[in-house]
């Protein structure tokens, strides 16, 4: 047992961060379970309010176009043919404004049919990723600790895996809270400052982990090319 603890010492901090991710995941699940109705209700209310504001803006623009057309006609600036062209242009402008307004609202298209539902799904994914990645990181770091890597590099793995486990799930939670306001794509773009580095840390760590395992399995860790990163001792 003492030997096993000594083996894990270089990655203790990473395992602790993985355990912390599990704890955060459990706490977040408890919060979602007790506040599900209030969260979903607030998202639905916000979505409904945004739709009403957009509808009022579209109606206001349509009224302005109709009044402008009537003024031009009263001034005698168009014959029947010109009047038809003006009506066509006004209709096209109004339709273009409506589509443009929807686009400017933050790409509010929802794959589920409801931005509120999308928000709740993303909040739930935060819990799932906290639990799944936290457990995976702890397991992988135990394997890292069992390799012949030098302690310095084991510590690096502890930091990269651990930070990735703590950064990735909150990005989904933050994305969930912003989905109704920014739209699905807009919310995703708004958290790239957190999402990007977290994905980079996790994927980079996984690639490096598999590379280390492959190097040890093939015995390349004893060659001059890789010996600087490994303790030169016979694997048990």
- Domain chopping of the chain, boundaries: 2-49+112-229
Q: Which residues contact 122 (CB under 8 A, 6 or more apart)?
A: 172, 173, 175, 176, 179, 187
Average pLDDT over residues 214-234: 90
CA 29 to chain centre: 18
Per-residue pLDDT, 3 = 84
CATH number for the region 2-49+112-229 comes to: 1.20.120
Residue 222 pLDDT greater than 50, yes or no: yes
pTM above 0.85, yes or no: no
Q: What is the pLDDT of residue 159?
A: 98
Burial of residue 128 (CB within 10 Å: 0-12, 13-18, 19+) is middle
pLDDT digits (tens, 9 = 90+) for 51-106: 887 776 667 667 566 656 655 655 555 545 554 454 455 455 444 444 444 444 44
The Cα 118–Cα 102 span in angstroms is: 18
């Amino acid at each position: 047992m003492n030997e096993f603890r000594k083996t894990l010492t270089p990655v203790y901090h990473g395992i602790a961060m993985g355990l912390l991710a599990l704890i955060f995941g459990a706490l977040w699940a408890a919060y979602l379970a007790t506040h599900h109705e209030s969260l979903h209700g607030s998202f639905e209310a916000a979505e409904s309010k945004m739709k009403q504001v957009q509808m009022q803006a579209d109606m206001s623009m349509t009224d302005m176009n109709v009044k402008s057309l009537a003024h031009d006609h009263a001034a005698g600036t168009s014959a029947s043919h010109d009047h038809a062209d003006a009506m066509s242009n006004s209709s096209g402008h109004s339709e273009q404004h409506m589509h443009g307004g929807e686009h400017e609202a933050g790409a509010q298209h929802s794959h589920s049919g409801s931005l509120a539902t999308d928000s709740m799904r993303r909040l739930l994914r935060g819990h799932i990723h906290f639990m799944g990645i936290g457990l995976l990181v702890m397991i992988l770091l135990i394997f890292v600790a069992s390799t012949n890597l030098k302690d310095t590099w084991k510590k690096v793995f502890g930091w990269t895996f651990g930070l990735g486990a703590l950064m990735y799930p909150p990005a989904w939670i933050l994305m969930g809270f912003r989905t109704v306001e920014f739209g699905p794509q807009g919310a995703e773009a708004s958290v790239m400052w957190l999402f990007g580095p977290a994905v980079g840390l996790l994927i980079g760590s996984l690639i490096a982990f598999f590379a280390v395992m492959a190097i040890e399995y093939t015995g390349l860790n004893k060659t001059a090319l890789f010996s600087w990163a490994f303790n030169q001792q016979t694997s048990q």
